[in-house]
Chain A
């Protein structure tokens, strides 16, 4: 995909050249250095309701910032305020150093391009014509499209992968194709900053990844992008920074690995979450669960493998203080426990359970309100090793209350069992 994207120099040269021919707005020339977007103490209200209050957001060149948060958090409002479509009640938005309120619509359109979630267009314009509309901020009233405009349009259509249906009507293409047409239109604007509102919402996996790769490349070219994204895994994978917005306020702002933890998700989305690692990309992978409203307990888990991992993840997400052991190093359950910041007793792989680790695990268990044994025997038994069976019993024996759950236990049943045992 990245091969389709025009070289960085072309894109920036296009912007600069257009500025040279611009109608005398010298202030429009991007200044070197300084953030491309600087939002300070932004408050926007609709009537009595503050959709966004006191938001600060700075976007430097070369960065892709992900805006995440629940529905109605104020992400779209923040994006609309950046383009000047909404007026700020308080605070200010600066684009490349200049306040949005002092820039004309045309000047703003040369600095920021938006990819909206949907377009209101219901007349059957050909796709190519819609992309050509992206050149509007560079055209005088009586200008036609020149070679430079045509090149920008071709490049944008190739990058967004919409050439195949360039001559079809915008009213006839699918929702996902429409979204890519809007992306192409924004690319044709050749702005230093790109704002995307749920750019992957109606795309299939292939095009969702292609879109994010494209936006990533744009950021790597020294431009900047802000994307409101619901897919937290996608956000973690591609963004340099994640800004968590909830209730109109910024709850967290930083690199994905720092920002996306279970507490942040619980706080922002009002959902229980387990944040693991995506094994393919190594970036945080968020799994959300419905809110269970259980009282927090100390729970020790006895078991190994993916089944125990699931149990640890669900317990941790529900807010239980979880520990695990004994498990071999690198076991799926050990990885999950590490991601959930749970205490865990491990032994080297294939080493078997020694007395020392057994004692450590028993101590953790003794400290717990309840022990959960996964799969009846904690998965320790392969039917040949009576010592292992015994170790399960010895750890569980350290706790007063023991719950045995089947290896395929459902999340709700697990939480209910723990709640019953500790009631």
Chain B
């Protein structure tokens, strides 16, 4: 019970911090907008369903044929219309996508570090990032595939159209899952997946996929610049449709991870001891792996490879709240969201926009060195 109270208190505080970061970030850019105005713009945009009408063509985010939801906006603060457009159409989708991606990567990183009993593990360790990169890069290099593959029903729930960006995301997502499944299949013998084998299989697959990426880059020609941008991580040009997909995919996956937080604690004892305490080890590992792979894939599909978030944020939070995943998992995820929003704000507020991956790596690598110097690293 004490644990639950602590988890709720920490999560509430960090959710509030994330909200503050989002609001402040939305005001930062070539056009400065005070946080108070940002808040008014956001509140103005908030709608509540006020009724249902039948017969007319549907409009709005929950449009269904023949059914129309009536919306009412409870707030009507006077705001600058240009500012409103900047915040709602340009900055907010990007910021919210950053928050969701950071949230996913930090959550997956926390789980992977617990799963591998190694604070230096991160979500890419099971090949997810390399797989996503191969998927995205091959789509960028051979965009011909567009017409044949975008009939996949995955993004059908949301009307994203057959855009180039959606194609990259879709290929990245599928590539991530294929790579993760490949690593899992290589490491599994007779229904058992030893963690050490999984780690090595991940390294092998990452190395191989790295070669594939290098080869594709050589063949890329004109699109090389786009590939480099994707590989370094990017959030520019984020659309509301991407935010919507991420917002639909991430929370349920996170809920699954959270439900396994206590099992993850017990798994830290080692598999045999965990089994002795009643954990169905292999099944739990499969669920954790699959869920982490999905949640990571959802993140990298939209934002490219953003390093260090999944590595550093869980580690920092472990130093603050301790190793108990019931507290660590929600706090690390929320902090990951806030961290990536802040990093992306820094990336776009300079004179020339940087890929966000450059900022996270530039902040992350020194922190990594700091951890090494302070002997916070456990032996592999």
Q: How far is the CA of A125 from the CA of B324 in the complex (A)?
A: 7
Select from chain B the residue with minimum beta-carbon distance to A129: B324
Of the candidate stretches A55-63, A102-110, A312-320, the one touching chain B is A102-110
Within 8 Å by CB of A139, from B1, B3, B260, B262, lies B262
Q: Is residue B281 contacting chain A, with contact meaning CB distance below 8 A?
A: yes
Q: How far is the CA of A129 from the CA of B262 in the complex (A)?
A: 11
Q: Is residue A193 contacting chain B, with contact meaning CB distance below 8 A?
A: no
B276, B277, B281, B322: most-surrounded residue (chain A CB, <10 A):
B276
* A133-B272 in contact (CB<8A): no
Q: How far is the CA of A107 from the CA of B279 in the complex (A)?
A: 10
* B276-A85 in contact (CB<8A): yes
Of the candidate stretches B50-58, B263-271, B359-367, the one touching chain A is B263-271
* A119-B270 in contact (CB<8A): yes
- Taking CB atoms, residues of chain B closer than 8 Å to A123 are 117, 268, 318, 323
Near B by CB (< 8 A), chain A positions 120-160 give 120-125, 129-130, 133-134, 136-137, 139, 141-142, 144-145
Contact A120 to B117, CB < 8 A, known contacts A129-B324, A136-B262: yes
Min Cβ gap A85→B in Å is 5
Min Cβ gap B261→A in Å is 10
What total count of A-B pairs have CB within 8 Å?
82
Select from chain B the residue with minimum beta-carbon distance to A116: B273
Select from chain A the residue with minimum beta-carbon distance to B326: A144
Select from chain B the residue with minimum beta-carbon distance to A113: B276
Near B by CB (< 8 A), chain A positions 341-362 give none
Q: Is residue B215 contacting chain A, with contact meaning CB distance below 8 A?
A: no
Within 8 Å by CB of B280, from A83, A106, A139, lies A106
* A136-B279 in contact (CB<8A): yes
* A144-B4 in contact (CB<8A): yes
Q: Is residue B248 contacting chain A, with contact meaning CB distance below 8 A?
A: no
Q: Is residue A80 contacting chain B, with contact meaning CB distance below 8 A?
A: yes
B270, B277, B279, B281: most-surrounded residue (chain A CB, <10 A):
B277
Q: How far is the CA of A391 from the CA of B7 in the complex (A)?
A: 87
Select from chain B the residue with minimum beta-carbon distance to A182: B273
Q: How far is the CA of A296 from the CA of B171 in the complex (A)?
A: 81
- Taking CB atoms, residues of chain A closer than 8 Å to B322 are 124-125
Q: Is residue B244 contacting chain A, with contact meaning CB distance below 8 A?
A: no
Min Cβ gap A130→B in Å is 8
* B266-A136 in contact (CB<8A): yes
* A105-B265 in contact (CB<8A): no
Q: Is residue A84 contacting chain B, with contact meaning CB distance below 8 A?
A: yes
Contact A121 to B270, CB < 8 A, known contacts A106-B280, A136-B262: yes
**Interface size of B as a range:** 20 to 34
Min Cβ gap A387→B in Å is 70
Number of interface residues of A (CB under 8 A): 35
Q: Is residue A211 contacting chain B, with contact meaning CB distance below 8 A?
A: no
Q: How far is the CA of A120 from the CA of B379 in the complex (A)?
A: 12
Q: How far is the CA of A104 from the CA of B262 in the complex (A)?
A: 18
* A104-B275 in contact (CB<8A): no
Q: Is residue A114 contacting chain B, with contact meaning CB distance below 8 A?
A: yes
Min Cβ gap B371→A in Å is 15
* B4-A133 in contact (CB<8A): no
* B1-A110 in contact (CB<8A): no
Select from chain B the residue with minimum beta-carbon distance to A86: B272
Q: Is residue A189 contacting chain B, with contact meaning CB distance below 8 A?
A: yes
Select from chain B the residue with minimum beta-carbon distance to A150: B1
Contact A122 to B275, CB < 8 A, known contacts A105-B281, A144-B1: no
* A114-B278 in contact (CB<8A): no
Select from chain A the residue with minimum beta-carbon distance to B279: A105
Select from chain A the residue with minimum beta-carbon distance to B265: A133
- Taking CB atoms, residues of chain B closer than 8 Å to A134 are 277
Q: Is residue B259 contacting chain A, with contact meaning CB distance below 8 A?
A: yes
Select from chain A the residue with minimum beta-carbon distance to B113: A123
Contact A105 to B378, CB < 8 A, known contacts A124-B323, A125-B265: no
- Taking CB atoms, residues of chain B closer than 8 Å to A107 are 278
* B275-A137 in contact (CB<8A): no
Select from chain A the residue with minimum beta-carbon distance to B261: A141
Chain A residues close to B by CB (< 8 Å): 80, 83-85, 104-110, 112-114, 116, 119-125, 129-130, 133-134, 136-137, 139, 141-142, 144-145, 185, 189
Can you identify 22 A-B contacts, CB atoms within 8 angstroms? A83-B275, A85-B272, A85-B275, A85-B276, A109-B276, A109-B278, A116-B272, A116-B273, A120-B117, A120-B268, A121-B269, A122-B117, A123-B323, A125-B268, A125-B324, A129-B324, A133-B277, A136-B262, A136-B266, A136-B278, A144-B1, A185-B277
Given contacts A109-B275, A122-B268, A189-B277, 12 further A-B pairs with CB under 8 A are A104-B280, A109-B278, A116-B273, A119-B269, A119-B273, A120-B270, A125-B322, A133-B266, A134-B277, A141-B259, A142-B259, A144-B3
Top-4 shortest CB links A-B: A109-B278, A120-B270, A137-B278, A123-B323
